[in-house]
Amino acid sequence: MKIAIYGYGNLGRGVECATLNHPDAELVAVFTRRPPETVKTALPGTPVYAADRLLEFKGQIDVLIICGGSATDLPEMTPMLAAHFNVIDSFDTHATIPTHFAAVDRAAVETGHLALISAGWDPGLFSIARLYASAVLPNGQDYTFWGRGISQGHSDAIRRIAGVVDARQYTVPVEEALSAVRAGETPVLTTREKHRRECYVVAAEGADLARIEREIKTMPNYFADYDTTVHFVTLDELRRDHAGMPHGGSVIRNGKSGFSGEHTHTVEFRLALDSNPEFTASVLVAYARTIHRMAGRGSIGCKTVFDIAPADLSPLSPEELRAHML
């Protein structure tokens, strides 16, 4: 299948690298809103074009992987591009998925294209894990723990404080809560009991560290409801020790069975990711395969990961899957 990348940040770069491990994915080009000559691709020789030249490539791209941000890029880009290509995105604003779905579905159905939104790990593989576990164990309790991992939104929130030069924030599951849930317990947990927040902050010379720490810890929504620790580090330390983009977490469901619910079962799906954007990119390429196949079977409109049978994700044939993977 011929894929192209629309938007070249960390995620786009991850998709480019992921094609190395997916031999059936041929990368046609990267499209960028920056001047193309300023973009240095991860792989030598990847063609880069200005985004406004995309329509010249109609008919040459099987699946367009849209690598924009969920806040402002994707709500506009995905419906617009689904009118011209089969597309996939990683839209991750849970609350507005229904609106995004409707807009993309309309554009895709009207023009006979196939789209898949919200692929990645949450939403994405975590959502699938939640669905399977709740379908199998209807009488149960769900938990999602995120981390240990970098939250871009929380890191940005710290950077907006006066006197902060740079910062990284780790979301960390509270070990006691995670252990209890893993052991089959079904506690009612407050926000504070589920996650804590670890901040590494570079302050400007002479800045009031106590004030910065106080402003972080009392910030509504972002930090006030959590146990937050603040570590001041140098810019060199931040670059040396906190340059990566690890993330992950666990979806856990504890459910009951038996005549009177006397048996407990724990279902856990866990991810530990060295690179959040590269893993998300790997999920996008695997789902691009499903879009290509389903489009070939005449499917149109907008889909989510819930609508895709597992077999369509694999490069193996149904016979091979039954013989070797079932």
Q: Is 219 in the site for a second copy (CB under 8 A)?
A: no
Closest to 302 in 3D by CA, of 95, 100, 148, 153: 100
Integer Cα distance of 251 and 268 in angstroms: 6
Please identify which residue in the block is written with the tokens 């994915």. 25
Comparison of 229 and 266: residue with beta carbon closer to a second copy: 266
> What is the nearest approach in angstroms of a second copy to the Cβ of residue 3?
15
Q: Is 26 in the site for a second copy (CB under 8 A)?
A: no
Binding test (CB under 8 A) with a second copy, winner from 167, 281, 288, 300 = 281
**Residue type (1 letter), 170:** Y
Within residues 117-176, the interface with a second copy by CB under 8 A covers 118, 123, 125, 127-132, 134-139
> What is the nearest approach in angstroms of a second copy to the Cβ of residue 74?
14
Cα dist from 304 to 52, 129, 298, whole Å: 27, 14, 17
Stretch of 57-65, 90-98, 191-199, 229-237 contacting a second copy, by CB under 8 A: 90-98
Comparison of 83 and 321: residue with beta carbon closer to a second copy: 321
Comparison of 165 and 313: residue with beta carbon closer to a second copy: 313
Cα dist from 218 to 173, 213, 215, 221, 319, whole Å: 20, 9, 5, 9, 57
Within residues 294-323, the interface with a second copy by CB under 8 A covers 304-311, 313-315, 318-319, 321-323
Q: Is 19 in the site for a second copy (CB under 8 A)?
A: no
Sheet holding 87-89, edge to edge: 48-50, 26-32, 2-6, 63-66, 87-89, 114-116, 301-303
> What is the nearest approach in angstroms of a second copy to the Cβ of residue 123?
5
Within residues 91-110, the interface with a second copy by CB under 8 A covers 94, 97-98, 101
- Is 323 exposed, middle or buried (CB count within 10 Å of its CB: 0-12, 13-18, 19+)? exposed
> What is the nearest approach in angstroms of a second copy to the Cβ of residue 309?
5
Do 108 and 85 meet the contact criterion of CB atoms below 8 Å apart? no
DSSP string, 36-79: GGG---SSTT--EEEGGGGGGGTTS-SEEEE---TTTHHHHHHH
> What is the nearest approach in angstroms of a second copy to the Cβ of residue 248?
8
Q: Is 222 in the site for a second copy (CB under 8 A)?
A: no
Q: Could you give the string, one character per residue 28-47, with x where binding to a second copy holds by CB under 8 A and - elsewhere?
A: --------------xx----
